Structure 1
């Protein structure tokens, strides 16, 4: 494995963020994979929410290819509140919004009576290493995450993920960032059709979180379903060694290349 960059993003002197090669898309060396920008927007939305609030859902819209160029982020509060809060963020590159996100935060409170069934992931120690996209191993984002597979077949995958570098240089990697750096990979992990012949493009991604994960590893139980008129839906259940963390959904544009 090549030497990894210091982080996915380097802070710039004007308050912006410079993407490193760790953000690199597999399809275009000058573009970013959707995972790091999603995590960056969530990181800044979370910082704006204040103490006692936890990010419960984030929906991210990709407005086109995301250039691997310096960017700034604008955060706006849409619905203030002490118990629930809605805010949006834009990733702006060369004066144009390339990614937009909407995040709901919910205030934490007393522990409710236990009632949910336990949902535990398969063994990490039994999962061999692999690549997020079969046959592609030398692209920036793919190398910046460790992928260990319990299962993989056409349209399904069970994989442990470990992000290898910080999101932003000089800042610790949070559980929220670990989750959202990998969440947008649900589609790529569970491709139902060979990528050399078919496009499978998610224009948007939604992650709903029960809680942040603990530890270095996040497990994704992924599957992709296809309609008979050119659409698809990728989803993933997120877990950590302690159990259930949340869900990812991605609608897909499916076309022959």
Structure 2
């Protein structure tokens, strides 16, 4: 494994960030994987919300391939409130929005009188998955910035289950929190559960929605992902996020499925 950069993003000004090699997409080395920008926009949105509210859902639209160049973040409050709040953020690259996110926060409150049973995922394997081979790729920035420990599906196409640990901070100089850990890996769901050969087929999510029951505790987030294909070039990935204590939330990604032309 090559040496890790300091973080996914280096702050270079007020709300301005330089992406490092850790954001590199497996689809295009000049583009960013969707996970780090999602977490960056969530971080910016979270910073505008009062304590006592927790992000419960974030929907992210990838408006174009995300260039691995300097980006600016803009945040706008769409629906202020003390109990629920809706906020929008944009990742601006070269003067244009490359990613847009909308997030709902919900105020926390008293513990309900009924508690939902939560089933923990399989135990963390004792050793990391050596040189995680993502459809033949082993040396790409985002893939190396995550530690992968598979409990199923590593050697086959289709459904996959994997423990993940983000190795570096989201932003240089800032401690990585649980929300960022979950969102950095959520957009990997369609990749780890791809059902078609990577070098022959594109499987591209133009949008992703992550709904969270709670934010993870500790370093590890578990991803249980499945991809389903329709007969007309569309697909759908759904995934469950967990930590060692049980379920965290759900991920949904509609997919563009196309055979590569070159």
TM-score w.r.t. the length of structure 1 is: 0.97
> Does structure 1 conserve the Cα–Cα contact (< 8 Å) formed by 2:15 and 2:74?
no
| Counterpart selection for 2:161 from 158, 161, 178 | 158
**Distance (whole Å) between structure 1 residues aligned to residue 178 and residue 230 of structure 2:** 34
> Does structure 2 conserve the Cα–Cα contact (< 8 Å) formed by 1:132 and 1:189?
no
| 1:91 counterpart residue number | 91
Q: Structure 2: which 5+ runs fail to align?
A: none
Question: Shift in Å at residue 47 of structure 1?
Answer: 1.0
> Does structure 2 conserve the Cα–Cα contact (< 8 Å) formed by 1:220 and 1:237?
yes
**Distance (whole Å) between structure 2 residues aligned to residue 136 and residue 154 of structure 1:** 15
Between the two proteins, the alignment pairs up a number of residues equal to 257
Question: Shift in Å at residue 128 of structure 1?
Answer: 5.0
TM-score w.r.t. the length of structure 2 is: 0.95
| 1:61 counterpart residue number | 61
Q: Which deviates more, 192-201 or 160-169? A: 192-201
| 1:19 counterpart residue number | 19
**Distance (whole Å) between structure 1 residues aligned to residue 229 and residue 27 of structure 2:** 22
Give runs of ≥4 in structure 1 deviating > 3 Å.
none
| 2:44 counterpart residue number | 44
Q: Cα deviation per residue 1:203-240 (whole Å; 9 max; x = unaligned)?
A: 00000000000010000010000111111000110000
> Does structure 2 conserve the Cα–Cα contact (< 8 Å) formed by 1:62 and 1:98?
yes
Change (3 A) 1:132 1:182: farther
Q: Cα deviation per residue 1:121-177 (whole Å; 9 max; x = unaligned)?
A: 011125751526132110000000001100003220000000000000000000000
**Distance (whole Å) between structure 2 residues aligned to residue 176 and residue 111 of structure 1:** 21
Q: Which deviates more, 146-155 or 202-211? A: 146-155
| 2:78 counterpart residue number | 78
**Distance (whole Å) between structure 1 residues aligned to residue 30 and residue 166 of structure 2:** 21
SS in 1 for 2:208: strand
> Does structure 1 conserve the Cα–Cα contact (< 8 Å) formed by 2:57 and 2:211?
yes
Asked if 1:186 corresponds to 2:193, the answer is no
**Distance (whole Å) between structure 1 residues aligned to residue 115 and residue 2 of structure 2:** 46
SS in 2 for 1:66: coil
SS in 2 for 1:48: coil
SS in 1 for 2:112: coil
> Does structure 2 conserve the Cα–Cα contact (< 8 Å) formed by 1:127 and 1:149?
no
**Distance (whole Å) between structure 2 residues aligned to residue 114 and residue 243 of structure 1:** 17
| 2:227 counterpart residue number | 224
Asked if 1:149 corresponds to 2:150, the answer is yes
| 1:125 counterpart residue number | 125
Q: Structure 1: which 5+ runs fail to align?
A: none
**Distance (whole Å) between structure 2 residues aligned to residue 73 and residue 256 of structure 1:** 34
| 1:2 counterpart residue number | 2
Aligned-residue CA RMSD (Å)? 1.2
SS in 2 for 1:2: coil
| 1:208 counterpart residue number | 211
Q: Cα deviation per residue 1:10-58 (whole Å; 9 max; x = unaligned)?
A: 0003440000000011122211000000000001111111111100000
